[in-house]
Amino acid sequence: MTMSAAESVRVTHAHGSYDVRIERGALRSLGEHVVRATAAHSCALIADANVAAHYGNGALASLEAAGLRATPHTFPAGERSKTRATWAALTDALLAAAHGRDACVVALGGGVTGDLGGFVAATYLRGVPVVQAPTTLLAMVDASIGGKTGVDTPAGKNLVGAFHAPSVVLVDADVLATLPPAALIEGLAEAVKHAAIADAAQLDAFERDAAALRRGEPAATDALLRASIPIKARVASADPHEGGIRATLNFGHTIAHAIERLTEYAIPHGHAVALGMVAEAAIGEALGVTAAGTADRLHTVCRALGLPHALPDLRAEDIIAATAGDKKSRAAVVRYALLERPGACARADDGSWTHAVEPAVAANVLDRIGAGK
């Protein structure tokens, strides 16, 4: 364990602001952080079964030591639990535990728990505070920040939800020690995305530190958290309700969501994002929006980090057809967040941060870079 000072990154939103606290060991003082950030007297600790087994007892003990009445609520791990049914079961459990308006929710876990627990908090008694305690790298750099909460429906991912800003986000990288290596590497994809849209020097650093990052070595991981979290925080603060620049966080995700849907989620999100970023950079290059060599640069970095670099065995036309089902598309035209070059996003002629792309152009690019082989 490296000992380093706590660092706080501030996020602003329509109704105020909150801190993302980056500090190894922060969860040992979970209760104190909850008391400081909320006016709550009781606390519902929401975690999936895996995370509860590792960290549930310690979290409960810390909450109780800080004088909070705390009740644990678990659900089966995995995206399949991110449903209205689990939301209903959790809210019923909170009601049965007699949590009142002076309660708060602590969402301890990965992005599934953060989205689900955040949505429970957004809706419970018309809204109680939530503390986000992310335990995956993906949730630390991305999902826990920005206030988007929600659940999946049969029609698609994240289609029912609410904006509900956390009172504080506690990023304690010590918990990454128990995260399966594959999940750690998936999270690296979202950090690459942040670097790709905002900071080319970080791409160089990630490539240089690739071996250490893949092993989850503390110094390299801490440096990544301190570099990547401020980018998400800055973009979310500039655009709390996703009307403008927050669309840039969708870089790589139009193609990624299509790949996930077509493979019925057999390809994990982080892998799909890595493939999507390279594909969308190539699409941008074909349109003359993105500087030549950008797709190659991202390809090299993703490969160094152990992320996949070959498109799955899908037809290019099928991938592009599936992008039309993306809920972020406007009307019939699919709009992509594109780069200008590594480290910078491109504005469209209409001033927006997304670009209309002809399906035939996108399909040609995918064919060329390897779809359908």
Ligand X SMILES: NC(=O)c1ccc[n+]([C@@H]2O[C@H](COP(=O)([O-])OP(=O)(O)OC[C@H]3O[C@@H](n4cnc5c(N)ncnc54)[C@H](O)[C@@H]3O)[C@@H](O)[C@H]2O)c1
State yes or no: is 126 an active-site residue. yes
List the one residue out of 285, 280, 288 whose CA is nearest residue 253. 280
Q: How far is the CB of 34 from ligand X (least distance, A)?
A: 19
Given 269, 271, 299, 335, which residue is catalytic?
A: 269
Q: Of 82 and 341, which CB lies nearer to ligand X in the complex structure?
A: 82
Q: Of 103 and 116, which CB lies nearer to ligand X in the complex structure?
A: 116
Going by the DSSP 8-state scheme, the letter that residue 157 receives in this structure is E
DSSP string across 6-69: -EEEEEEETTEEEEEEE-TTGGGGHHHHHHHH---SEEEEEEEHHHIIIIIHHHHHHHHHTT-E
Given 148, 164, 271, 355, which residue is catalytic?
A: 148
Q: Of 26 and 77, which CB lies nearer to ligand X in the complex structure?
A: 77
C-beta of residue 167 within 8 angstroms of C-beta of residue 145: no
State yes or no: is 285 an active-site residue. no
Given 7, 79, 217, 242, which residue is catalytic?
A: 242
Q: Of 4 and 158, which CB lies nearer to ligand X in the complex structure?
A: 158
Given 24, 257, 271, 341, which residue is catalytic?
A: 257
State yes or no: is 271 an active-site residue. no
C-beta of residue 173 within 8 angstroms of C-beta of residue 222: yes
Q: Of 45 and 143, which CB lies nearer to ligand X in the complex structure?
A: 143
Q: How far is the CB of 234 from ligand X (least distance, A)?
A: 15
What the block records as the tokens of 245 is 């620049």
State yes or no: is 69 an active-site residue. no
CA distance linking residue 147 with residue 249, whole number of Å? 14
Q: Which residues would be at the binding site for ligand X (CB under 6 A)?
A: 48, 50-51, 54, 77-79, 82, 109-113, 115, 135-136, 138-139, 142-143, 146, 148, 157-158, 175, 178-179, 183
Q: Which residues, in sequence order, are CB contacts of 163 under 8 Å at separation 6+? A: 13, 122, 147, 148, 149, 240, 241
Given 23, 193, 250, 280, which residue is catalytic?
A: 250
State yes or no: is 257 an active-site residue. yes
User: What amino acid positions are annotated as catalytic residues?
Assistant: 126, 148, 190, 232, 242, 246, 250, 253, 257, 269
